[in-house]
Structure 1
Amino acid sequence: MGVLQAYSKQSSGSVKLRSLIDTLRARPEVVREEPPIPRHFTHLSAEQTKALAEDYRAGMRVKELAAKYGISRETISKHLRRHGIAPRKVGLDAQQIKEAVRLYEQGDSLATIGKRMGVTAHTVRSRLIEAGVKMRSSYEHLLSDTRDRKV
């Protein structure tokens, strides 16, 4: 032990740490070989790709197609582009927006309408605002229920 070590104030923790570092440096390198990332590629035949395009044109959603064909949504989109099919606009079509307006004005919540139409409450809210619907406060329905009960 050197003079510096003998007269310096080292905590027992730092001494243990130094000893551990020296021990690790003395050990030979341990090389860990990582297992390869499992990759599962599903290749679609020309017939399957054609059927996929027909299913999309018939109204199936990309998420549904991905589950049906066992491939990612991105791959579905690539196949559709190769067939010259433009992606549908995400959200609600004009008829669904009219129905959403009607339901909202009847008192249904955004979440209820969204669940019924397969979209998020945020999407419903955005389309209603675009349609010029005045949004009610989050507690307004509670006030109207209370007034209705008193009458």
Structure 2
Amino acid sequence: MITPTVSDTLAEEIAASTHHINESIKEVGVPLQIHPNAVRRLTEANARLTSSETVVESHLTNVVELIEDCLGQLGVATEEEVGEYDVEVIETGRAKTAREHVKAIKTIVHELQEMYDGECGAPKEKVYQRAGQEGMPPKRTKHEIQKLHDKGEIYSPDQDRLHLV
């Protein structure tokens, strides 16, 4: 049996992620608490699933997304900007701010696509730059772009460009 190891840095990230999730839950008033050891065990299990000797950030990301999906079914939005009970999470599966970010990214890509018409899409660097000007952190921008990729609403004709479908 593989026993994956967790680095000190990742252990700190696990604690920070758990704290963030628990703060979101506390603000809503849901009588629930996520324990760091549980998150650590889940990340180790995720690493075992991939036959990895070391737990990496992607394993933690998978676990956090799983926890957020479960909490979303309860109507708890745990995203960075939101720590509230949001009925829209139950109805649509996404918090209002997340939908606003997706809409903003689509608008930015569309505008840049038109501006750089002859170049097959919007330069990623410019998309991140404009999203930052609108107050969206790069990590959030990357996350939302990846979700749009996964849903097939956006694609990359090459590694430096984005194009709306």
TM-score range, shorter chain: 0.3 to 0.5
Q: TM-score when scaled to structure 1?
A: 0.33
Point out the structure with the larger strand share. 2
Higher relative contact order (CA 8 A, sep 6+): 2
Q: TM-score when scaled to structure 2?
A: 0.31
